[in-house]
Amino acid sequence: MEVVTKYFADFSAGQLQQLQQLQAVYTEWNEKINVISRKDIDSLYEKHVLHSLSIAAVFDFQPGTQICDLGTGGGFPGIPLAIFFPEVQFHLTDSINKKLNVVREVAAAVGLKNITTQHTRTEEIKDRKFDFVVSRAVAPLKDLWRWSVPILKAKGQGKAATAFDEPIYGGLICLKGGDLTQEIHESGLHPLVWEIEQLFTEDFFKEKYVLAVKR
């Protein structure tokens, strides 16, 4: 867990306890339902928790912000972000219910009260709107944006998130890796891009990025 506290020093005692519990809970559940690669479970804090928290290194979500984690899988980036931002509400969705079962068990085990889950495809969400959508390498950027637009609140209604250069009032935030030139071109979008290796020095984060598309 030191790889997380190396970069984030202002966790409360309760948050530190929640973070510490993740290893044991994920290890236990991963033996029943494989939601994390077997070879990655020992690198949980670097490859999953810290990677998820790269969003927190760029954005400061305000209390009361509503965020949908699209295709959360085993709970990333949603669960680490929910620990980091206890006054922000996270709605974690996935089309595979057994993965959400793990998410619910992990959230209950560490005492997270700001998470809800829904077994659904994002395009089937009809009754809710969010300030932001977050996602980790689920699909091409053009598809993520197409799925996000219908569930995002109108511009200006969301809580402001502060980036390094300017506030962002709602939109899509996603984690991606590799050469994104073609993917961004095909999307027709103009995302803001941050290199994670400028935030965290571990080799794992080379050619990994935080992208944000404003609402």
pLDDT of residue 70: 96
Q: Which residues are annotated as a binding site?
A: 71, 76, 136
Q: Mark the binding-site residues for S-adenosyl-L-methionine, compressed into ranges.
A: 71, 76, 136
Q: Give the residue ranges of the chain where pLDDT is below 50.
A: none
CATH code, domain carrying 150:
3.40.50.150
Q: What is the pLDDT of residue 154?
A: 85
- The domain in which residue 6 lies consists of 2-214
Whole-angstrom CA distances from 195 to 1, 51, 177, 178, 198 are 22, 12, 10, 11, 6
| Cross-strand pairs, 66 | 89
| Total number of domains in the chain | 1
Q: How high is the pLDDT of residue 157?
A: 59
Phi then psi dihedrals of residue 212, to 5 deg = -135, 130
Q: Give DSSP secondary structure letters for 21-70.
A: HHHHHHHHHHTTS--S-GGGGGGHIIIIIIHHHHHHHH--PPTT-EEEET
Tokens of 58: 């760029």
> How far is residue 161 from each of residues 12, 49, 114, measured CA to CA in Å?
21, 20, 18
Tell me what pLDDT residue 152 has. 95
Q: In this predicted structure, what is the pLDDT of residue 131?
A: 94
What pLDDT, on the 0 to 100 scale, is given for residue 80?
98
Residue 51 class from Cβ within 10 Å (0-12 exposed, 13-18 middle, 19+ buried)? buried
